Structure 1
Amino acid sequence: MAVTKTPASASATDSASAPAPAPAPAARSGLAAAAAVAGLLLVVAVLAVVDITQGTAAVGAHEVWKALTGQADQADSSVVIASRLPRMVAGVLVGVALGSAGAALQSVSRNVLAAPDTLAVNAGSYLALGVLTVTGASLPLLASSGVAFVGGLAAAAVVLGLSGLGAGTVRLVLAGSALALGLGAVTDALLLLFPQRTNGLYQWSQGSISQNGFGGVDQMAPVVAAGLLGLLLVARRIDALALGDDAARGVGVPVRGTRIAVVVLAALLSAASVTLAGPIGFVGLCAPALARPLGRRLRALVRARAAVPFAGLVGAALVLGSDVLLRAMVDKQVAPSVPTGVVTSIVGAVFLVVMAMRAKEPGTAAESDRMRVPSRAGFAVCLVVLAVVLVGVVVAGVLLGDTKLLLGDVANWALGRAGRGVTFVLDTRVPRVLAALLAGAALALSGTLVQAVTRNPLAEPGILGVSGGGGLGAVLLVTSVPAAGAWSVAGAAFGGAALAALVVFGLAARGGFRQNRLVLVGVGVSAATTALISLVIVLTDPFNATKALTWLSGSTYGRTAPDLVPVAVVLAAGTVYAVVRRRELDLVALDEDTPRLLGLRLAPARFGFLAVGVLLSATATAAAGTIGFVGLVAPHAARALVGRRHVRVIPVAMLLGGILVCAADLLGRTVIAPAQLGAGLMTAVVGTPYFVRLLMRTRK
């Protein structure tokens, strides 16, 4: 008799014979995430052990183990306990703080370039601590961290207000870079005006995790823990914001309050990092970006509660890895004087360039096409007024200073009948006034050519890294060959500027000089050149370092007639070239198709104009140091006054550039006489508000 299976028995039999069900996707993701975290912790631990064994003293792993177990002699134990361990722990704290802050900022702003660097938080904290140092106030470390927190938070609020909290990556980077440049100029002015009180502040500003005992680490560790705990408490709200404002409001999340809370907590973490180790560049940008691809694969690491601390661990690995790499590649006697932040800045600059090459969004807001075009009479009046203003500024620059002169003194000097005192003053003052005039005109013409070729109203030699490359080349020569002549400095500046321009414009040319790519690559190259300049200054002797810092501030101090020859020759040749080819310049500035339809070979025309622009920027840098924003402000103002035709823009922009730099040099020499500030610092202070206004005008 056949036996028939009941449904229950059949089910039991099938379940017994079937293979075990596969683990749920969530479980697999959780296991993989745990493995990823464990692997990252192992990497951090290995880097920490290696970092402890590195230093000037011959204390290896065996001696470190003895010191940790209390078996080492007093000398080895003091090295490990007082220096090596605090340095390692500081590296971990700084990395965790910056990585976590960057991850949170990128989530709430939905902007992959949001970080303490691009929001100018580090620059604001640095300025706040610089002001505190200058006042001579002696505050405990926690109170100093509070001052840094206020400065960083204020800077972040300004940048976020200018750029908005959408996905406009270029606008955010531009706003942060411009504000950081202005704040840095004020801080550099404090360094030059109060060298005794700010001694060592410049090296600290490059970011170093070296510590003298556990005092700073013990005080900052609770601050970092509090900031990280605060981010974890609002992690659910951060996740909601990452989906969009409307989705967050739909689930009852207060959008504005959450954003403010996250920015405040990120500023607190950044302030703790700055107080402990100085500004460590780009860790807050790179760490979340390196953690993000893994988060896309592992769902358990997508949510903020896991993503924020995971980015912090990546940040710790970056900081410790940079310190280990630095001490492995540099002589151990020199390594302590090289800030860790220089390495992270160079790595971050390369990372920013790579991200720029992947940027796909359209360009930033362009300049308005509805511009008033004055008549010929209006153009002539504009030229005459600007020429009169320029003559007035030049005359005031010659007559005013720590010693005030009269026009009769200048006339007697020109005729060779002046006294010894007047002759000495004018022999030193006239060349520096002419240097400011020529450098301003050269930078204005350079900015005009670059903006026309790239069709980007935000392009400028300083922002695009060309001036930074020229500054690096000149600083290398000034610090290594102090007696170098004017033509040698100009040649070195041109070499550095040409190399920077080759990188920036070469990469940006792929895809037709898209605004996003050009600006982001330029900012990255500018950051790299700034880090390398800092490295050169830190490693050179104090005399050359002061000389380089003064020169970098855009100072015309000590200029002589031979120093003016290179920039004068290049300016004359560049002006003739631009005026003769003004129609081609108009066509290049239009679009891609019109020049080709009219038979203009676009690539050679672009190359010619860019080469002249780079040469102008380099010689201006050699003559007057690094001066920012002139190449941005002068062409903008010229187009607003006389329209877009370059036959009108070129002379007006050059007059405006000469006026701006001459006025900045005059103010720097007279406002706080007998002390002096470089023209570059003054133009940065003036140019930053102008750039801010430009961003506000094009915000929508």
Structure 2
Amino acid sequence: MTGVGTTLGRSRLALLAAGLAVLIVLGSAVHLTQGTANLDPLDPLRLLFGGGPGDTAAIVLESRLPRLAAALVVGVALGVSGAALQSVARNMMASPDTLAVDAGAHLAIVAVAAVGISLPLLGAAGVAFAGGLAAALLVLTLAGTSGQGIVRLVLAGTAIALAMISATRVLLLLFSEETRGLFAWGAGSLGQNGLDGVRTLGPVVGAALLGLLVLSRRLDLMYLGDDHARTLGVHVGRIRFTTIALAVLLAATAVTIAGPIGFVGLAAPALVRLLSNVVPGLHRHAALLPVSAAMGVALLLGADVLMRALIGSQGALEVPTGVVTTVLGAIFLMVLARNIRVATAAAEPPSAHARAGVSVPRYRLITGVLVVAAIGALVGSVLLGDAKLLLGDVVNWVSGQAGPLVTGVMENRVPRVAAAFLAGAALALAGAVVQAVARNPLADPGVIGVSGGAGLGAVTVITLVSGVGFWTQAGFAGLGAAAAMAVVFALAARGGLASERLVLIGFGMQAGTQALVTLLITLSDPWNEAKALTWLGGSTYGRSFAHLVPMALAILVVVPLLVRARGELDLLSLDDETPRVLGGAVPRSRLLLLVGAVLLTGSAVAGIGVIAFVGLVAPHAARALVGRRHARMLPVAALLGAILVLAADTVGRTVIAPSQLPAGLMTALIGVPYFVWLLQRSRLASTMRA
């Protein structure tokens, strides 16, 4: 029977390999026929056998063949890189995307370009490798390699990637001349200028793949467990580092050739691992790695063919292929997360081991200090900027006695300061609500895709309707946030609202909506990189008092709801059974609270764009200061969120004045280190409990 099973497994493996080969060959043939010039499907075959007209040869060799070659090399690199990283992390969610390898490699390349250094391809690949390796090691250090921390891995990777993406966008804005063209490339593009890149870096991919194949037997043993591998003589630490280095080298090479191509490194090996249930022997790395390479090529080639078939060859020249792979990969991730087996118990908040509450005098003291700090931040934001003001100038403006210069500055600056204050408070309150309802302390409107949905709704109406008014923009932002929230929670509700599933699906939603925003901006205004970066980074620039109305209305409507539901939030953050026993209507309460979170998030995004991590960091800091009771935590979180966005906006307006940096980029740079610290504390606490 063993021999029959082995034969059956080999035949199925051979059939899978043959099927992927056929897909790649057919996809390549179709790919070569797609372009702005018509090409007969048989012309590539005639060219292959020495025939065909001269102009056909020019079209294929000079334009389409380099793009096809890039798809083949990059697909192999990403498929194998993702498979190796998943094995090392023992986590199907590991990939160059979720481990921030792509973001680290991209940041390194942009940083070198920003300082005016021009590198050859191999040098650029080396720089990308250094950035990607540093990012991967940091994420794995935070998440661990036990295979149990799926959500921690995704969140750690998301946090590190967000910080690096924010730093990259800062460099793109500050050094626009030196980094011209790197924004579109940063979304992943297969367009090539000849075959030089593939010829130079293709051998690097082949050598890294060969190195991983040499380690395949040891990787088989390590995937079963470190202790098991050590008893069989495997040097676990050395093999793990070597595997990570080779996987990062593959991802960095792919980034150098085509920019960050999203989710191929996650979807390709994940699909292969799912197929291992019906294809015996596929779990062994000697088969897993090459099949993952073929799957990566098939997915990337298929996405490129699909894109050019749907939007036309001319439009495909403007749309990065990475946008399409990210959208498709995000859908795959949400479907995978919907069916993944996760724990239904709520995760312990990183601040849970802190005091459950503080005394009334201490709470009043903390709140009073924060109120004074918020007032100080408001005053400082009004006084500081490209033009410095004095308190006397503000007093004269309030009394109507200021000169035209001070009046002009104040009329432009005060709405910006108020917008930052209101947006910070709204996002902090929304984050606290989402964390309580989802019973996940690592969730926030950005992490679970609500901010991305709001941004997509606003950008859709801005780009598709000329001269759209602000209220229409705000309305579509709210609709986008509501749609994203509905989809995420509907998918996560399968088998109970498990917190891990919610975060994974939300991560996919956030990635997909951000890719669609990039797609819309690229199609509508491909040359206006500053518009895209400013919107995605969140900015108070050009705000007027009219822009404050939606945020003010949302806060006025939702805050009384939260005051009334403060006790229900305490119960919902524990479990569903306790509020039911006490007579609470859990579905109704959850729906009302989520609607309030959507209103707060949608209005904030409509007001100043996408602001990251405020809704995650502020509630955590509030719990650490005053405990987990929402009656005390909510106002403290709102004050902390307002102070954070005010500080970020002020720094962005003053540090490089008269130039400015979007507030959202600054909140990411400020908030991510705190979030990384929270993750590290969470991991240490989990280790101590184990």
CA drift of 1:544 comes to 5.5
5 Å-filtered alignment, 1:166-565, equals: 166-167=146-147, 168-362=149-343, 365-367=347-349, 368-372=351-355, 373-481=357-465, 483-542=467-526, 545-565=529-549
CA distance in 2, matches of 1:530, 1:573: 29
Task: Report what 2:9 is aligned to.
Answer: 29
Contact 1:461 1:467 in 2 (8 A): yes
Match of 2:18 among 38, 63, 72: 38
SS of the aligned residue for 2:110 comes to helix
SS of the aligned residue for 1:628 comes to coil
CA distance in 1, matches of 2:275, 2:55: 44
5 Å-filtered alignment, 1:629-644, equals: 629-644=613-628
TM-score (norm 2): 0.96
5 Å-filtered alignment, 1:84-99, equals: 84-99=64-79
CA drift of 1:212 comes to 1.6
Say which is worse superposed, 27-36 or 429-438, in terms of deviation. Answer: 27-36
5 Å-filtered alignment, 1:645-664, equals: 645-664=629-648
Alpha-carbon distance change, 247 to 364 in structure 1, aligned in 2, over 3 angstroms: farther
Contact 2:27 2:305 in 1 (8 A): yes
Alpha-carbon distance change, 667 to 354 in structure 1, aligned in 2, over 3 angstroms: same
CA drift of 1:251 comes to 0.8
Counterpart of 2:565 in structure 1: which amino acid? R
Alpha-carbon distance change, 599 to 298 in structure 1, aligned in 2, over 3 angstroms: closer
CA distance in 2, matches of 1:29, 1:446: 52
Contact 2:422 2:552 in 1 (8 A): yes
CA drift of 1:66 comes to 4.0
Contact 2:347 2:499 in 1 (8 A): no
SS of the aligned residue for 1:61 comes to coil
CA drift of 1:474 comes to 1.0
Task: Return 5+ residue gaps in structure 2 as ranges.
Answer: none
Alpha-carbon distance change, 217 to 388 in structure 1, aligned in 2, over 3 angstroms: same
Are 1:603 and 2:587 matched, yes or no?
yes
Percentage identity across paired residues of the two chains: 53
Task: Report what 1:112 is aligned to.
Answer: 92
Counterpart of 2:500 in structure 1: which amino acid? N
CA distance in 1, matches of 2:297, 2:472: 43
Say which is worse superposed, 440-449 or 75-84, in terms of deviation. Answer: 75-84
CA distance in 1, matches of 2:282, 2:432: 48
CA drift of 1:323 comes to 0.7
Task: Report what 2:675 is aligned to.
Answer: 691
CA distance in 2, matches of 1:108, 1:584: 42
CA distance in 2, matches of 1:218, 1:402: 49
Are 1:154 and 2:154 matched, yes or no?
no
- Cα shift readout 1:81-108 (whole Å, capped 9, x = no counterpart): 0111111111111111111111112122
Are 1:59 and 2:39 matched, yes or no?
yes
Alpha-carbon distance change, 239 to 78 in structure 1, aligned in 2, over 3 angstroms: same
Counterpart of 1:140 in structure 2: which amino acid? P
CA distance in 1, matches of 2:257, 2:104: 15
Are 1:573 and 2:557 matched, yes or no?
yes
CA drift of 1:511 comes to 3.4
SS of the aligned residue for 1:333 comes to helix
Contact 2:318 2:526 in 1 (8 A): no
Contact 2:347 2:439 in 1 (8 A): no
CA distance in 2, matches of 1:515, 1:437: 30
- Cα shift readout 1:672-696 (whole Å, capped 9, x = no counterpart): 1111111100110111111111111
SS of the aligned residue for 2:189 comes to coil
Task: Report what 1:18 is aligned to.
Answer: none
CA drift of 1:22 comes to 11
Counterpart of 2:648 in structure 1: which amino acid? A
CA distance in 2, matches of 1:293, 1:356: 13
Alpha-carbon distance change, 103 to 543 in structure 1, aligned in 2, over 3 angstroms: closer
5 Å-filtered alignment, 1:122-137, equals: 122-137=102-117
- Cα shift readout 1:615-663 (whole Å, capped 9, x = no counterpart): 1001001111100111111111111111122121111111111100000
SS of the aligned residue for 2:317 comes to helix
CA drift of 1:577 comes to 1.5
CA distance in 2, matches of 1:630, 1:22: 57
CA drift of 1:587 comes to 2.5
SS of the aligned residue for 1:337 comes to coil
Counterpart of 2:354 in structure 1: which amino acid? M
Contact 1:189 1:677 in 2 (8 A): yes
Contact 1:479 1:545 in 2 (8 A): no
Across the aligned residues of Structure 1 and Structure 2, the Cα RMSD in angstroms comes to: 1.6
- Cα shift readout 1:248-280 (whole Å, capped 9, x = no counterpart): 011100011111000000000001111111111
CA drift of 1:59 comes to 2.0
Counterpart of 1:50 in structure 2: which amino acid? V
Contact 2:128 2:256 in 1 (8 A): yes
CA distance in 1, matches of 2:167, 2:76: 29
CA distance in 2, matches of 1:481, 1:381: 50
- Cα shift readout 1:300-356 (whole Å, capped 9, x = no counterpart): 433211210111001100011111111111122211211111111111111111121
Say which is worse superposed, 330-339 or 150-159, in terms of deviation. Answer: 330-339
CA distance in 2, matches of 1:463, 1:118: 13
SS of the aligned residue for 1:55 comes to coil
Contact 2:377 2:646 in 1 (8 A): yes
CA distance in 1, matches of 2:108, 2:185: 14
CA drift of 1:543 comes to 6.4
Say which is worse superposed, 667-676 or 65-74, in terms of deviation. Answer: 65-74
Contact 1:170 1:364 in 2 (8 A): no
CA distance in 2, matches of 1:159, 1:324: 33
SS of the aligned residue for 1:662 comes to helix
Match of 2:60 among 76, 80, 95: 80
CA drift of 1:561 comes to 0.7
Say which is worse superposed, 423-432 or 73-82, in terms of deviation. Answer: 73-82
Task: Report what 1:625 is aligned to.
Answer: 609
- Cα shift readout 1:568-607 (whole Å, capped 9, x = no counterpart): 1111111121112222222222321121111111100000
Structure number, greater radius of gyration: 1
- Cα shift readout 1:166-210 (whole Å, capped 9, x = no counterpart): 112111111111111111011111111122222221111111112
CA distance in 2, matches of 1:683, 1:245: 39
Alpha-carbon distance change, 239 to 334 in structure 1, aligned in 2, over 3 angstroms: same
Counterpart of 1:227 in structure 2: which amino acid? A
CA distance in 2, matches of 1:567, 1:98: 42
CA drift of 1:244 comes to 0.9
Contact 1:555 1:624 in 2 (8 A): yes
CA drift of 1:294 comes to 3.2
SS of the aligned residue for 2:561 comes to helix
Contact 1:125 1:150 in 2 (8 A): yes
Task: Report what 2:654 is aligned to.
Answer: 670
